[in-house]
Amino acid sequence: MSAWQKAVPSLEKPIELRLLLTKRLAELEQTSQALAEAAEVPIEYIDDLLAGNRPPLRPGRSDLYDRMASFLKIALSDIEACARFVLGDPSTSKPRMPKPAVRKVFLDLCDPKSAQQLEARRAKNGPAELVGFIQRVLDVVHREVRRSLADRVGLRLQARHSGKAYEVARVEVLEFLDATAATLTAAEVAKFVQPRIAKWDIDVDTGVLRVVMQGQEPSRRPRPLDQTDRQQRRSG
């Protein structure tokens, strides 16, 4: 534990995240612009967050709160607790079906027979099962996309190629990592999901999920045996 973490006492109870951030900025005599630079996001993002016009991101999905905690010299657990205080407990909400365009893309990427089975089960039993499977596929994409946050050079090049500021491109990644099956937009699917997922399949009886990423599909033609293979075949 660092010295500043020891010096700043933990909150007795969580408060709204915007209030915590505003309080620490005042105590440190820092500005929202400085916090935006530390978090590598646009100033508008921080201003909206402080004004309550933008909901907090869910904790543990990105590096945003780690950066904020370091800059504000406060425990990461306090920031995350305040974010959860605003967001509430997601386990108490009913599963919501993804938007129709989003659901269609995920089902199109699914094995046709399994997709047909999933739709039949959804019509009979409700959306919970299908939402859960789509969320699991989305979690796979989230793990892949999160790696891009650590690759600043690659993300800067992508931003430049698309004509966007680096901070804007970073926020797009942060918001995608915060998305759930229910909140995912068609634009996010086109930008982050379709370029990464070649196909997926699910065994509805066992729950075993198989996701094939782009570029990982096996070749249709068998690989020729090399010398080591031939020796192993003969010895076997």
pLDDT reported for residue 94: 78
How far is 121 from 111, CA to CA, in rounded Å? Answer: 15
pLDDT level of residue 10 (50, 70, 90 thresholds): confident
Instruction: Pick the range with the lowest mean pLDDT from 8-12, 32-36, 111-115.
Output: 8-12
Strands, E, within 25-175: which ranges?
A: none
pLDDT level of residue 1 (50, 70, 90 thresholds): very low
Q: Which amino acid is at 48?
A: D
pLDDT reported for residue 95: 77
Residues ≥6 apart with Cβ < 8 Å to 200: 109, 110, 111, 137, 209, 210, 211, 212
81, pLDDT greater than 60: yes
* pLDDT tens for each residue of 128-155: 999 999 999 999 999 999 998 889 999 9
Where in the sequence of the chain do the CATH 1.10.260.40 domains occur?
10-90
Q: What average pLDDT is seen over the chain?
A: 88
9, pLDDT greater than 70: no
The fold of 10-90 is 434 Repressor (Amino-terminal Domain) (1.10.260)
Residues ≥6 apart with Cβ < 8 Å to 234: none
